[in-house]
Amino acid sequence: MPTTSTPTHCPYCALQCGMALSPLPTGGVEVVERPDFPVNRGALCGKGRTAPAVLSSRVRLTSPLVRSGGSLVPATWEEALDRIAAEFGRLRSEHGADTLGVFGGGGLTNEKAYTLGKFARVVLGTSQIDYNGRFCMSSAAAAGIKAFGLDRGLPFPLEDIPRTGCVILVGSNLAETMPPALRFFNELRENGGTLIVIDPRRTKTAEQADLHLAPRPGTDLALALGLLHLIVAEGRVDEEYVRERTTGWEDARAAAMAHWPEYVERITGVSVPQLRETVRMFCEPEAAMVLTARGPEQQSKGTDTVGAWINLCLATGRAGRPLSGYGCLTGQGNGQGGREHGQKADQLPGYRKLDDPAARRHVAEVWGVDPDSLPAPGRSAYELLDALGSDVRSLLLMGSNPVVSAPRAAHIEERIKSLEFLAVCDVVLSETAALADVVLPVTQWAEETGTTTSLEGRVLLRRQAITAPEGVRSDLEVLHELAARLGVEKGFPTDPEEVFEELRRASAGGVADYSGITYDRLARESGAGVFWPCPAEAEAEGDAEAGQDGHGPRPASGTPRLFLDRFATEDGRARFVPVSHRPNAEEPDDDYPVLLTTGRVVAQYQSGAQTRRVDELNAAAPGPFVELHPRLAARLGAAEGDRLAVVSRRGRAVAPARITNGIRPDTVFMPFHWPGEGRANTLTNPALDPTSRMPEFKVCAVRVEIAE
């Protein structure tokens, strides 16, 4: 193992901050700043800074566990793997391959995501694979593909933000979710640009804004349509751009013109003068951006909502031009790469479509199988979880904790309990792992090498810096061993670089083309990464401007900026998609008169499986709370800290009151990181977006009571 510090990246969010890990005399590692990485320049949030604590956590799993007599008891690796293979083999022969489910995660490295997708389709022969990234950015991905022909979270590097004129940030609290990214927006304002934040709460991010709009939850679509109406009415459409670089404008224009500002004000609660001011701030500068995150995306109309914001960019000539564009701030560490390499129900590596015959032929050739043997697209994440215990009898779960993170979580917990067989790979006994028949303890980020792809589409190399504890194995080893036991001896290497070499070939010619990227090249790029697409025959020169602002970090290579000449559609033009306002799947009524929205806090990450094991983070964010406006609190007779019960049609969650003027009086907020009585996802609505199959995490109807 290295005796000097190892440059690598944070295991948590999609910013993938650069850090170095330095060996400690005691045998562990400590985090050291890495100012050379151009995104965070050494800055880290508390999660990244404390990430090594999970490596040496006292609750770390170091032995496989097998259920026996109702309890999980330690077992050998041979016993555990044999049991999984035997159960999967039995269920497949008795009930068919599609009764076997596989559920992955947006935190898995590219190599793991790729191998998991291949394992499901080649070894198990099942169509029933999806992953928790479906719950993250799938609406933005679907809208981006419709409009631009391609989904890469940000089609430009973050370094462009300080040099644009205005950014509209829709439903992102990045001051808490990815704090080092805030500097790009601070620099934007220092340079004379403006920041508009759209969020029902006055978040830490909204406090930094030049203009904060607080729409009613679930009305971002109407808001975008009202803005587009005003853009047309005020003669601010870039007619030449629309004519030359887009199609479909007339229908989108007609849809927007049906959304009068006064009508939009009634729907959203955002006043007409605020709408006008937003249009002025967005349209006056030469360049501007719209960035969305989970707020508008996690809705049952998420794809249309993001589409409406893209329409705004297209009508004003703000896409595919320098320092302008639409982008999605992906959330999970490898949320971007995780959706490109085949663990998604409808996709093959290279961001290819599973139902595309040419894609099937290409990938089947790389895999050495008959294209006709590849299954059809399967169920989306929520639908797969909802089918557990009925159509889907067993599940292999890797890198996810749906008992805490799935919508309508109490129901999903019951579905998981009703499985005939559950196998979980994890580093700790998560709430989902605790329900398993077999738990396999696996290596973590600093104990293994692999690549991730950041929210910018920047492919990065995470390097092994420390030896894994005795008793744990990598996810790749697990899949290799299971494949062999299920009769597939070859094609599942345990060496991540070997997997990446195959991934390069599988992705070649696809939308997300990694064929020009190698581990050597990633190491040579001084850790700044390589932006995809990066085809082998056109090793891009790199970007002369990225990172060149006097601070010295080396620019990354590949394709940092997309769409400058043409969009990724057949005719090279972006597509307007006509969309119209529609209500939330669940609106308030007499029984459930308040809206609930959910989100994250700075000291915890996703389901908390890792961060809830770090003392420093627990001290900073010990548990859930219900944020509510003083007027609502007065109506309830609630004081700060009182235990409140939040009740939806799906269940009840209890947490202490946190009273603030920074939230709409018709809305309460809960963070979703905790299990138990304060589990926010007990309440959330699984109503699905018809295109992306994203559940409506971000808004549902509840009533709030003082808990007895």
Instruction: Report the nearest approach of ligand SF4 to the CB of residue 369 (Å).
Output: 37
Q: Kindly tell me which of 44 and 224 has the beta carbon lying closer to ligand SF4.
A: 44
3-state percent helix, strand, coil for the chain, nearest multiple of 5: 35, 20, 45
Q: Kindly tell me which of 12 and 592 has the beta carbon lying closer to ligand SF4.
A: 12
Instruction: Report the nearest approach of ligand SF4 to the CB of residue 15 (Å).
Output: 4
The DSSP-derived string for 521-560 is: HHHHTTTS-EESP--GGG-----SSTT-SSS-PPPPEE-S
Which residue type occupies 552? G
Paired with 503 in beta bridges are: none
d(CA 102, CA 409): 18
Instruction: Report the nearest approach of ligand SF4 to the CB of residue 18 (Å).
Output: 9
Instruction: Report the nearest approach of ligand SF4 to the CB of residue 181 (Å).
Output: 7
DSSP state letter for 134: G
Instruction: Report the nearest approach of ligand SF4 to the CB of residue 472 (Å).
Output: 22
Instruction: Report the nearest approach of ligand SF4 to the CB of residue 13 (Å).
Output: 3
CA 371 to centroid of chain Cα atoms: 30
Q: Kindly tell me which of 180 and 296 has the beta carbon lying closer to ligand SF4.
A: 180
Pairing of strands 211-213, 194-198: parallel
Instruction: Report the nearest approach of ligand SF4 to the CB of residue 127 (Å).
Output: 33
d(CA 186, CA 277): 21
Q: Kindly tell me which of 181 and 384 has the beta carbon lying closer to ligand SF4.
A: 181
Q: Kindly tell me which of 47 and 352 has the beta carbon lying closer to ligand SF4.
A: 47
User: Which CA distances in Å does 507 have to 199, 454, 536?
Assistant: 37, 17, 11
Closest CA to 658 of 681, 630, 680, 631: 630
Q: Kindly tell me which of 12 and 532 has the beta carbon lying closer to ligand SF4.
A: 12
Q: Kindly tell me which of 47 and 344 has the beta carbon lying closer to ligand SF4.
A: 47
Q: Kindly tell me which of 268 and 454 has the beta carbon lying closer to ligand SF4.
A: 454
End-to-end CA distance of the chain: 55
Q: Kindly tell me which of 54 and 683 has the beta carbon lying closer to ligand SF4.
A: 54
d(CA 233, CA 239): 13
Instruction: Report the nearest approach of ligand SF4 to the CB of residue 291 (Å).
Output: 16
DSSP state letter for 13: B
Name the residue with the smallest CB distance to ligand SF4: 48
Instruction: Report the nearest approach of ligand SF4 to the CB of residue 44 (Å).
Output: 4
Q: Kindly tell me which of 14 and 100 has the beta carbon lying closer to ligand SF4.
A: 14
**146 HSE (CA, 13 A, CB side):** 23
Instruction: Report the nearest approach of ligand SF4 to the CB of residue 133 (Å).
Output: 16
Instruction: Report the nearest approach of ligand SF4 to the CB of residue 202 (Å).
Output: 21
Cβ(534)–Cβ(559) below 8 Å = yes
DSSP state letter for 392: B
Q: Kindly tell me which of 48 and 218 has the beta carbon lying closer to ligand SF4.
A: 48
3-state per-residue secondary structure call for 198-265: ECCECCHHHHCCCEEECCCCCCHHHHHHHHHHHHHHCCCCCHHHHHHHEECHHHHHHHHHCCCHHHHH
558: Cβ–Cβ under 8 A, 6 or more apart, which residues? 458, 459, 516, 517, 529, 530, 531, 532, 533, 534, 540, 542
Instruction: Report the nearest approach of ligand SF4 to the CB of residue 613 (Å).
Output: 15
Closest CA to 264 of 253, 272, 252: 272
H/E run at residue 383 = helix 381-386
Q: Kindly tell me which of 432 and 454 has the beta carbon lying closer to ligand SF4.
A: 454
Cβ(411)–Cβ(650) below 8 Å = yes
Residues within the interface to ligand SF4 (CB under 6 A) = 10, 12-13, 15-17, 40, 44-45, 47-48, 178-180
